[in-house]
Amino acid sequence: MIRAIFILTALTSVSLAAADDFSVVGSIVSPDAANYDAYGSDVAFANAATLCVGVRGADAQGSNAGAVDIFNLTSEGWEFIQRPTAVGLQPGDQLGEAVAGNNTWFAAGATRHDAMGVDSGAVWMFRNNQTNWAHAQRLLPPVTSAGARFGSALALEQDTLVIGAPLHSGGGSVSIFTQANSTWTHALSITNPTPGASNRFGESVALAGDWLVVGDPHDDAVIIDGGAVYLYRHVASAWILTQTLRPTQTVAREYFGQSLSIDGTRLAIGVYGANSGAETSGRVEMFEVSDGSWQQRDEIVPLAPIGGGNFGWDIALSGDRLAVGAPGAGVAQLSGIVTYYTHTPKARWTAIVDALLVNGQAQDLFGACVALRDGQLAIGAPGAPDASGTSAPRGVVAGADFSQDCNGDGIPDAVELARGAADCDLNSVPDACQPDDDGDGIPNTCEPCIADLNGDGLINGFDFSLLLNRWGAVPAGEPADLDEDGNVGASDVALLLNSWGKCEL
């Protein structure tokens, strides 16, 4: 089994004034890794302890047929579980270009599948059978649609699946499938409300509660490739278009809506082509809903804009946490950066850490996809070499556990420790958060009660008597030799008296 353990180490900050730089290890990899797999084509959580990784270049079921890998989180890190067989997959299908999941289902898009026309696309559904994930169904476009790339974007919540087909004739479309009795059935297709030959409605999709969000980053209504985002609400068994968002800045090729992430009453929209201090450095716009209307609340731009950084290429929102991928930024061309933010009512969105792939190099594309669930962060780098020693790109995924924040200051424990916070017992909890009964700054667990010679939790006359009985030279390891100098004497008596009373627990 593959053990993929997250490692976090501090680096010298090279560009950011308000967020530290850190290195993360691309250790979530396949036992069947091969050159040009594009491992980490997409990533998605079923829950905080189950991760699906898309591998669109995998060859196990035919050249570039693609695959999906499943990992479970253990106390030792992310553990490879299986690569389920996709029944009916063909060479060149590129399964895993997009993935989405929940506790019961994983969906994986294969945009080059040809069953309904060349590159019409398809989506494979895998079901959690408690012991493994198994192929359950192949979903095809509802109509013949050559070149539609059905499965380019996926959103899955409970028994509803949304599938984007951005190259469907007329400027793109999305299809909605629903599940009953373990069978997925086509329920509805939505075409582009503003059709255009170059539009890509369905390039991104997001789903939460009764809201469906569809992005068209190539919409030209404001300016060429300015982009648009459409908000649908589920009312009386129908999806109703209630609002259309477009960029407020008239700058061509911003690609507003390239990426989307929605959680509760918040919506994040990626605008990777925006000129936020440098050409195509990118930005993210944050919206919140009130009384059924979505309003912009924040605009997040890179702290150190990098031309071609593509900040916002992919984004992941989970409660008060946000991860933004910038695969064009980094220490080398297209090596990539992912910035992690937390939200507080007073400070709004604050950059906490800038994640870099350890030994990052040109063309890694770290941050081309990101997933975030309850503080667990997964980042794909489909162009990076893995640890096998080959220089050819295979792709990797890096994981970071930002779920724990013992003092509630918005900075994960993992980040605190990487910045130098003490952790005397190496339990991944900063010492400042652990019980310290005597207030000396040393946690109880790191201050053993060495003078409690009889083990009753008290240091008293009984222990003093045992110490006197061992007076003089003693062999190494003698418990009464408190200072470990090979002799039980006055210095040991002093240590015992200084610890007199109840032991720390």
Q: How many domains, the chain?
A: 2
pLDDT score of 440 more than 80? no
Greater model confidence, 21 or 407: 407
Average pLDDT for 2-18: 30
Exposure string over 237-264, b if 16+ CB within 10 A, otherwise e: eebeeebebbbeeebebbbbbbbbbbbe
Same domain, 250 and 186: yes
Of 158, 138, 156, 145, the residue nearest 117 (C-alpha): 145
pLDDT score of 1 more than 60? no
Give residue 504's pLDDT band: very low, low, confident or very high (50, 70, 90): low
Same domain, 371 and 476: no
Greater model confidence, 211 or 482: 211
Residue 317 in any domain: the answer is yes
Model confidence, pTM: 0.86
Same domain, 233 and 169: yes
Domain, as residue range, for 456: 448-502
Per-chain mean pLDDT for the chain:
90
> What length is written for the chain?
505
Condensed to tens digits (0 to 9), the pLDDT of residues 166-202 reads 999 999 999 999 999 999 999 999 999 999 889 999 9
Residue 420 in any domain: the answer is no
Specify the pLDDT at position 9: 29
Same domain, 399 and 479: no
pLDDT score of 480 more than 80? yes
Of 243, 325, 332, 296, the residue nearest 14 (C-alpha): 332
> Greatest CA span in the chain, whole angstroms?
94
Average pLDDT for 143-149: 95
Residue 376 in any domain: the answer is yes
Condensed to tens digits (0 to 9), the pLDDT of residues 262-310 reads 999 999 999 999 998 888 899 999 999 999 999 999 999 998 888 999 9
One-letter amino acid of 391: S
275: domain CATH number is 2.130.10.130
Which residues make Cβ contacts (< 8 Å) with residue 81, sequence separation at least 6? 70, 71, 72, 132, 133
- The DSSP result for 165-181, as a single string, is ETTSTTTBEEEEEEEET
SS3 426: coil
Same domain, 72 and 173: yes
Specify the pLDDT at position 111: 98
Same domain, 390 and 479: no
Q: Which range is most confident: 20-24, 217-221, 497-501?
A: 217-221
- The DSSP result for 441-486, as a single string, is SS-GGGS--TT-TT-SSEESHHHHHHHHHT-EE--TT-TT-TT-SS
Of 80, 200, 61, the residue nearest 124 (C-alpha): 61
Same domain, 355 and 473: no
Specify the pLDDT at position 170: 92
Distance CA 354, CA 360 (A): 13
Specify the pLDDT at position 438: 63
Same domain, 391 and 477: no
CA dihedral sign of residues 221, 222, 223, 229: negative
pLDDT score of 15 more than 80? no
Specify the pLDDT at position 6: 29
358, 26 Cβ separation under 8 angstroms: yes
Take residue 362 and report the two structure tokens written for it. Answer: 């040109």
